[in-house]
Amino acid sequence: MHVSLERVNSLIEEHQVVAIDLKYADLVGNWYHITFPPRRLEHVLEHGIPFDGSSIPGMKSVEAGDMVLLPDPATAIIDPFASTPTLRMLSYICDADTREGVNKDPRTVANRAHDYMLASGIADTSLWVPEFEFYLFNEAVINNGKYSAGYKFTSAENKDDLPGGYLDADGTAVAHRKGYHIDTPFDKYAHVREDMVQLIEGIGCPVRYHHHEVGLSGQQEIETELLPFELITDKMMYVKDVIHNCALKHNLTATFMPKPMYDEPGNGMHFHIQLRKGGRNIFYEKGAYADLSEQALCFIGGILKHGRSLTAFTNPSTNSYKRLLPGFEAPVKLFFGLANRSAAIRIPKYATSEEAKRIEFRTSDGTCNYYLAMSALLMAGLDGIRNRILPNEANSFGPFDDNIFDWPEDRQNSLESIPESLEEALEALQDDHEYLMAGGVFNGELIDSWIQEKMKEVLAVRNRPHPFEMNLYYSL
């Protein structure tokens, strides 16, 4: 804390900071903030900032709403978008009396998950690579009312989706092809991604690469290097904020929505995971299947066994299940395989060395609360190691290296499927969450509140007429 505070004071002096902005996440992952002058820093570090937790969805009841925000000086950065010199810090949501992180504070849950891993003795380091997939649209017009509803997204990259008034006079918009790794000048927003990457690296989050994704209407990907769990969970919140704000600065709009457009590629958020102990990659065993150790296989087995309930945290939107459709790269069956993009867990074929060997969970998407989704994945994997849940053909978890959609239908049906809707995922979580409760990492209060808040979204979507229903039923 002392070293971090010295760094904060140094940043304040060096950049002539006039405001300190505290950020915190609610249960579903929305960001909130409160700002104070730098002269109050020591007071706030000691006493925190009180606030009404009952005003934050899913956080606390009106009867017991008093909470405090306690800043974490280790997360301090200079705000790259503020009009005046501003320092940002992430906060813990703490009980007003005990000053301990509350049961439903996402950052506190992630801390507990990391501590549980350390206490288990299984590993002392958990390394992660998140893949940020998102669309950059020129326009996003959204309307939901009683008498009309609809949306319109446009992209200057796609001849079939041009913005209003844009004539594509230079002929650089394209059509009838995939956008994956498309080169400039057709990759119109490579410079925007580069601006994002410079800002992301500037906040201490190293980027592995960035490129245009498959979606021709401005789909992008930015992937980080392997980073420790306790660091990347915070950095991801900053990265998402950079992407949104940098897009706006370039007169664009960004979305991580899993399936913003019908019959176009969806946005996933793949997580690469590796565990180490004493500096050694415990997932690596030369000569075994895909050079994976038994601990790696059991970690995979734990995730697959709990895969249906995990989707309540890794794919927590009604829109998530419009991306997860059979026949596409978004996986719908719970199995693993080497280089298999139809698998829920893919073993990257290019990661052959002990240093690089890892697994890739491909089901998740960017609507998740990073703290909770990654904590849940870690807990499921550790449960697999603790209970020696080995994936094999007997439990239909694989490995399978071929395209399962080429299999006969009865064989496909023998594999465990992910839920087909958010409601089904929440039901799975209700039935299977004990593995999350180990070590007090998750708790009943959080699980109950999560299900309640997410069911509100289910009902909000279910209760509204869908535009395509007009095509189906209006004239009957």
Q: Which two tokens stand for residue 323?
A: 């991306």
Tell me whether residue 221 is one of the annotated catalytic residues.
yes
Task: Kindly indicate the confidence band of residue 3, based on its pLDDT and cuts at 50, 70 and 90.
Answer: low
Going from the C-alpha of 230 to that of each of 63, 108, 119, 278, 334, the distances in angstroms are 33, 11, 15, 17, 27
Q: Which two tokens stand for residue 413?
A: 């049906």
Please provide the DSSP assignment of 85-110 as one string: -EEEEEEEEEETTT-SBPTT-HHHHH
Q: In this model, does residue 16 exceed pLDDT 50?
A: yes
Q: Considering 133, 187, 285, 383, which one is annotated as catalytic?
A: 133
Q: Considering 79, 157, 187, 213, which one is annotated as catalytic?
A: 213
Return the SS3 of 61.
coil
Tell me whether residue 329 is one of the annotated catalytic residues.
no
Delineate the domains of the chain, giving CATH numbers in brackets. 2-101 (3.10.20.70), 103-124+278-476 (3.30.590.10), 132-266 (3.30.590.10)
Closest by CA position to 336, among listed 328, 325, 347: 347
Q: Considering 161, 187, 221, 234, which one is annotated as catalytic?
A: 221
Tell me whether residue 360 is one of the annotated catalytic residues.
yes
Give the model confidence (pLDDT) of 144-186 as tens digits.
Answer: 999 999 999 999 999 999 999 999 999 999 999 999 999 999 9
Q: Which two tokens stand for residue 26?
A: 């609610």
Give the model confidence (pLDDT) of 403-452 as tens digits.
Answer: 888 888 888 888 999 999 999 999 999 999 999 999 999 999 999 999 99
185: cis peptide before it, omega within 30°? yes
From CA 362, how far away is CA 332, in angstroms rounded?
A: 10
* pTM: predicted TM-score of the whole model, two decimal places: 0.95
> What pLDDT does 61 receive?
58
> What pLDDT does 59 receive?
79
CB atoms within 10 A of CB 7: 13
Give the model confidence (pLDDT) of 312-349 as tens digits.
Answer: 999 999 999 999 987 667 889 999 999 887 899 999 99
Q: In the predicted model, what is the mean pLDDT of residues 282-294? A: 96
Q: Considering 26, 79, 131, 187, which one is annotated as catalytic?
A: 131
Give the model confidence (pLDDT) of 231-253 as tens digits.
Answer: 999 999 999 999 999 999 999 99
Q: Considering 6, 13, 42, 52, which one is annotated as catalytic?
A: 52
Tell me whether residue 362 is one of the annotated catalytic residues.
yes
Q: Which two tokens stand for residue 126?
A: 């958990």
Return the SS3 of 31.
strand
Tell me whether residue 225 is one of the annotated catalytic residues.
no
From CA 307, how far away is CA 284, in angstroms rounded?
A: 23
From CA 463, how far away is CA 468, in angstroms rounded?
A: 14
Task: Kindly indicate the confidence band of residue 1, based on its pLDDT and cuts at 50, 70 and 90.
Answer: very low
Q: In this model, does residue 53 exceed pLDDT 90?
A: no
Q: Considering 223, 341, 386, 453, which one is annotated as catalytic?
A: 341
Going from the C-alpha of 63 to that of each of 53, 106, 141, 260, the distances in angstroms are 10, 21, 39, 39
Q: In the predicted model, what is the mean pLDDT of residues 65-84? A: 92
Return the SS3 of 169.
coil
From CA 266, how far away is CA 327, in angstroms rounded?
A: 13
Mean pLDDT in the chain?
A: 94
